[in-house]
């Protein structure tokens, strides 16, 4: 039935296109959309500012404009990112708002306890949470985005935790004139969303205000999502001064059905195995950005912010007591950056200098709940001080080297990071449990070197070497031993041996080619070696985890992507990515599985060098086809193939894998005068597949046997939206 519905909807869209092409068109729509989106600039540093030609960047960069985000009808930021080459979504929590994003073998995830490797910035503010460096995607202002930049590889500019890359989000601001735009969206599984935006500008001032509320029941049992956001920004442009002040508030409640044991999954994919898990955050963020021209060739940029987060996380457990965690985080800090352009020995030179400081105060309280009783399980706090200095320089070294008009640019960079954790222990007294209180300090200098050779502005090669670091997070420092297993972010803390800082060595070679506005191609070969990599380990028969250094791991592969325009009516986009993520050293790890010969938990696994890291597909193919039969209608189809993946907990690669899968999405976008709308069909073939897997004890079966736990992907779903701009 679902496949038939999908085919009918796609067929209806194609029929509408044919009729529209044959009939008389309405008056021309307001549109400034190019045949291929022009992506020629990226931000030169963390702070919003003057653009830099993409040909001068020794890295693979993709940019999604806000208009493109809105054209696709993406409901979440992850929906848009997954269309980029090599990006995969992993849904551990089992809801639409919290999938994890993976590329190049690194993750940005809202799941506490998973080592992070991607930094996320909003208007210059790093929004990885200070507790465990997780990323709460539901708190990001998707519909208020001007552009999203995905910069792959470590970077001296973006700093610590940028092992796989950085996600840089720039929000919208008002333009001349006054606009009001109400929008409504409805979809499968009880989804409904309402939004109102007002923006404009007059003289030196501009303003932008938007509020939205959305909810859905979810396709699984007890999987409702409630999202409420408010975003406001006021800007001032006067002479050589440009300033913006923004405020964002998000208040959500997200139920988390999670994964299912394989024995239950085959019986009913919609069920919620434990029932009751939820995440309820309240976030406020104030951001100030100021840019001031100091001289004709020098600009000073200032970023300052204050951010608060109050979150409640409830976990229902069949093994052990339920846990209810309360987190309060206050963060404040700023960045000062100087950009200077000059001529050195007759060659153009661009210099960026910056310093930043951030203070985080994190307070965590965990209650253990059983039947009608509740007791304090742990209460800890962490004060973090993070200071950094960075510099980056781009010099046009040679021109007319091999051909007239060619150019060789050398980019050098260096960053010094210093981070201190001051951990306080307010846990209830327990016999034999030492205090977790202590101070941990980490510092590291990381360099960057890149070379761009551009035969023309549209054709060039680049080489890059960069180092990156990831200092152990609060959770990792307090749960670094199998004797101190932590069932959650804050529970079970005890004094542990210090973990080592993760150190990344990254190598990359790539090339870009653009033929007018009709064809773009990009190729990148990369390798990232992590020394002292940190893994989260779940011992057999528990719901908890701990962390340990696992020696050296490697991520290497090839990324190929392209865009083509066939006339003014057809656009094609696609990519292929091969990623090999492996252990370099032999290592012994605890595992949630029952391994051969194991008679007492926790069981261990002997992981040999060359074994694959879990949840990293080696092969991924994606393609999108867009057709514009008229000036006011766009039809599109997007497909992706994701290869098989090892389950978490099977690092020695002896168990079953997640099956490879194919997902097909389709949709239509209408834009006529002030009216715009979209229809999106997700998983149009209604394919039953899983995107996450691990091992755990099934407490509902006799003897609580350990078996695979998998998270089913959502079935076919339809979303529609309509907006009118006054």
Residue 395 phi, psi (nearest 5)? -125, 125
CB burial class (10 A; 0-12, 13-18, 19+) of residue 112?
A: buried
d(CA 675, CA 667): 17
Vertex 530: Cα angle to 527 and 535 (nearest 5)? 125
What is the domain range of residue 331?
A: 2-724
CB 536 within 8 A of CB 113: yes
Phi-psi region of 468 (alpha: psi -120 to 50; beta: other; left: phi over 0): beta
Q: Which residues contact 28 (CB under 8 A, 6 or more apart)?
A: 631
Sequence-ordered list of residues with C-beta below 8 angstroms from that of 245, at least 6 positions apart, any chain = 233, 234, 235, 286, 287, 288
Closest C-alpha to 46, from 353, 271, 394 = 353
Q: What is the pLDDT of residue 592?
A: 83
Identify the band that residue 8 occupies on the pLDDT scale cut at 50, 70 and 90.
very low
pLDDT of residue 51: 65
Q: Collect contacts of 47-51 with beta carbons under 8 A, ≥24 apart.
A: 47/124, 47/289, 47/291, 47/301, 47/303, 47/335, 47/337, 47/354, 48/123, 48/124, 48/170, 48/289, 48/291, 48/301, 49/291, 49/299, 49/301, 49/337, 49/339, 50/299, 50/339
Q: What is the pLDDT of residue 30?
A: 40
pLDDT for res 317: 85
Res. 545 pLDDT band, cuts 50 70 90: low
Phi/psi class of residue 389: alpha, beta or left (left: φ > 0; alpha: ψ in -120 to 50)?
beta
Which strand (E) or helix (H) includes residue 72? Answer: helix 66-72
| Residue 4 confidence (pLDDT) | 40
Distance separating alpha carbons of residues 667 and 555, to the nearest angstrom = 35
SS3 content of the chain, % helix, strand, coil (to 5): 5, 55, 35
Query: What's the confidence (pLDDT) of residue 497?
Result: 47
In contact, 547 and 479? CB cutoff 8 Å: yes
User: pLDDT per residue over 333-365, tens digit each?
Assistant: 999 999 999 998 889 999 999 999 999 999 999
| Residue 384 scores a pLDDT above 80 | yes
- pLDDT for 291-307, tens place per residue? 999 999 999 999 999 99
SS3 224: coil
Task: Check if the beta carbon of residue 560 is closer than 8 Å to that of residue 85.
Answer: yes
- DSSP 8-state symbol, 45: S
Q: Is 36 helix (H, G, I), strand (E, B) or coil?
A: coil
Asked whether 210 and 249 are in contact (CB, 8 A), the reply is no
pLDDT at 22 (0 to 100): 36
Annotate 428-451 with three-state secondary structure.
Answer: CCCCCCCCCCEEEEEEEEEEEEEE
At residue 590, the pLDDT reads: 80
Tokens found for residue 121: 């910035």
Kindly tell me if the per-residue pLDDT of 664 is higher than 70.
Answer: yes
610: left (phi over 0), alpha (psi -120 to 50) or beta: left
Rounded CA-CA distance 393/413 in Å is: 6
Q: Are 420 and 382 in contact (CB under 8 A)?
A: no
Evaluate whether 65 touches 37 at the Cβ level (below 8 Å). Answer: yes
Say if CB 585 and CB 551 are below 8 A apart: yes
Indicate if the pLDDT at residue 412 is higher than 90: yes
Q: Considering the chain, what percentage of its residues have pLDDT values greater than 70?
A: 88
Say which DSSP state 612 is in.
B
- Are 95 and 216 in contact by the 8 Å Cβ rule? The answer is no
pLDDT band at 205 (very low <50, low <70, confident <90, very high): very high
Per-residue pLDDT averaged across 666-675, rounded? 94
Q: What angle do CA 620, 621, 623 make, to 5 degrees?
A: 150
Residue 104: predicted pLDDT: 96
pLDDT digits (tens, 9 = 90+) for 451-493: 999 998 889 999 999 999 999 888 778 775 555 546 443 233 3
State the DSSP H helix or E strand holding residue 28, giving kind and residue range, or none if neither.
none
The pLDDT, as a whole number, for residue 132 is 86
What is the CB-side half-sphere exposure of residue 711 using CA atoms within 13 A?
25
pLDDT digits (tens, 9 = 90+) for 251-274: 999 999 999 999 999 999 999 998
Q: How many CB atoms lie within 10 A of CB 372?
A: 5
Quote the CA–CA distance of 342 and 396 in Å, as a whole number.
11
Per DSSP, the three-state class of 642 is strand
Would you give the end-to-end CA distance of the chain in angstroms? 40
Q: Count of alpha carbons within 13 Å of 427, Cβ hemisphere only?
A: 23
What average pLDDT does this structure show over 287-291? 97
**Residue 64, both tokens:** 């999604």
- Per-residue pLDDT tens over the stretch 81-137: 999 999 999 999 999 999 999 999 999 999 887 788 999 999 999 999 998 899 999
* Mean pLDDT score, 262-288: 95
pLDDT of residue 599: 74
Q: What is the CB-side half-sphere exposure of residue 564 using CA atoms within 13 A?
A: 8
Q: With 70 as the cut, is the pLDDT of residue 561 above it? A: yes
CA angle in degrees (0–180, nearest 5) for 467-473-476: 115
What the block records as the tokens of 581 is 């993520």
Query: Cα separations (Å) of 485 from 350, 427, 435, 475?
Result: 49, 15, 15, 11
Q: How many angstroms separate the CA atoms of 539 and 657, rounded?
A: 20
Has residue 695 got a pLDDT over 60?
Answer: yes
Domain count, the chain: 1
Beta strand pairing status for 118-122 and 165-171? parallel
Question: What's the rounded mean pLDDT across residues 174-197?
Answer: 95
In CATH, what number is assigned to the domain containing residue 260? 2.40.170.20
From the number of C-beta atoms within 10 Å of its C-beta (0-12, 13-18, 19+), residue 336 rates as middle
Q: Please, are residues 343 and 317 in contact by the beta-carbon 8 Å criterion?
A: no
pLDDT computed for residue 542 by the predictor:
54
Q: Give the chain's radius of gyration (CA, Å).
A: 25
Average pLDDT, the chain: 87
- Find residue 336's DSSP bridge partners: 302, 355
């Amino acid at each position: 039935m679902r496949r038939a519905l999908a085919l009918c909807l796609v067929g209806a869209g194609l029929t509408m296109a044919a009729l529209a092409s044959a009939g008389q068109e309405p008056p021309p729509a307001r549109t400034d959309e190019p045949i291929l989106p022009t992506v020629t600039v990226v931000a030169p540093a963390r702070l919003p500012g003057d653009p830099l030609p993409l040909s001068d960047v020794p890295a693979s960069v993709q940019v999604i404009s806000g208009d493109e985000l809105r054209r696709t009808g993406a409901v979440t930021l992850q929906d848009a990112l997954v269309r980029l080459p090599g990006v995969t979504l992993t849904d551990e929590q089992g809801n639409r708002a919290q999938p994890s994003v993976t590329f190049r073998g690194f993750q940005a995830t809202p799941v506490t306890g998973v080592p992070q490797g991607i930094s996320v910035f909003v208007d210059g503010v790093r929004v990885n949470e200070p507790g465990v460096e997780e990323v709460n995607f539901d708190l990001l202002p998707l519909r208020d985005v001007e552009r999203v930049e995905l910069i792959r590889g470590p970077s001296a500019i973006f700093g610590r935790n940028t092992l796989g890359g950085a996600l840089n989000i720039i929000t919208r601001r008002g333009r001349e004139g006054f606009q009001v735009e109400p929008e409504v969206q409805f979809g499968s599984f009880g989804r409904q969303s309402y939004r109102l935006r007002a923006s404009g500008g007059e003289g030196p001032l501009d303003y932008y205000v938007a509020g939205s509320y959305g909810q859905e029941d979810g396709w699984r049992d007890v999987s409702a999502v409630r999202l409420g956001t408010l975003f406001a920004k006021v800007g001032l442009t006067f002479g050589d001064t440009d300033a913006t002040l923004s405020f964002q508030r998000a208040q959500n409640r997200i139920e988390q059905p999670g994964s299912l044991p394989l024995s239950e999954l085959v019986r009913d994919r919609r069920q919620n195995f434990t029932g009751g898990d939820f995440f309820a955050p309240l976030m406020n963020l104030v951001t100030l950005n100021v840019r001031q021209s100091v001289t004709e060739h020098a600009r000073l940029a200032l970023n300052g912010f204050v951010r608060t987060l109050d979150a409640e996380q409830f976990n229902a457990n069949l093994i052990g007591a339920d846990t209810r965690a309360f987190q309060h985080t206050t963060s404040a800090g700023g960045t000062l950056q100087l950009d200077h352009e000059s001529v050195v020995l007759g060659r153009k030179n661009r210099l960026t200098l910056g310093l930043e400081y951030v203070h985080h105060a994190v307070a965590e309280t965990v209650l253990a709940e059983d039947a009608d009783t509740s007791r304090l399980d742990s209460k800890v706090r962490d004060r973090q001080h993070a200071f950094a200095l960075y510099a980056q320089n781009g010099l046009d070294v040679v021109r007319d080297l091999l051909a007239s008009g060619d150019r060789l640019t050398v980019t050098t960079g260096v960053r010094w990071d210093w981070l201190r954790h001051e951990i306080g222990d307010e846990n209830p007294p327990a016999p034999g449990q030492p205090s977790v209180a202590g101070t941990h300090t980490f510092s590291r200098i990381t360099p960057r070197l890149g070379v761009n050779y551009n035969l023309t502005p549209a054709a060039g090669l680049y080489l890059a070497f960069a180092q990156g670091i990831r200092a152990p997070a609060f959770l990792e420092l307090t749960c670094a031993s199998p004797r101190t297993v932590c069932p959650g972010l804050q529970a079970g803390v005890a004094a542990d041996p210090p973990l080592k800082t993760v150190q990344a060595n990254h190598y990359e070679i790539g090339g870009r080619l653009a033929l007018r506005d009709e064809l773009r191609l990009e190729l990148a070969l990369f390798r990232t070696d992590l020394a002292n990599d940190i893994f989260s380990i779940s011992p057999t028969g528990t719901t908890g985890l701990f962390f340990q250094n696992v020696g050296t791991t490697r991520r290497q592969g090839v990324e190929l992507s392209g865009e083509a325009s066939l006339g003014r009516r057809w656009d094609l986009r696609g990519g292929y990515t091969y990623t090999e993520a492996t252990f370099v050293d032999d290592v012994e790890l605890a595992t949630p599985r029952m391994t051969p010969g194991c008679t007492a938990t926790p069981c261990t696994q002997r992981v040999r060098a060359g074994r694959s890291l879990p949840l990293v597909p080696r092969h991924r193919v994606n393609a999108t086809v867009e057709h514009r039969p008229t000036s006011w209608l766009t039809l599109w189809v997007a497909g992706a193939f994701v290869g098989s993946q090892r389950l978490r907990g099977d690092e020695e690669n002896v168990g079953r894998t997640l099956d490879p899968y194919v997902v097909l999405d389709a949709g239509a976008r209408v834009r006529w005068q002030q009216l715009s709308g979209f229809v999106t069909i997700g998983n149009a073939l209604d394919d039953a597949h899983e995107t996450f897997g691990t091992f755990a004890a099934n407490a509902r079966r006799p003897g609580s046997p350990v078996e695979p736990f998998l998270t089913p992907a959502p079935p076919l779903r339809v979303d529609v939206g309509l907006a009118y701009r006054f």
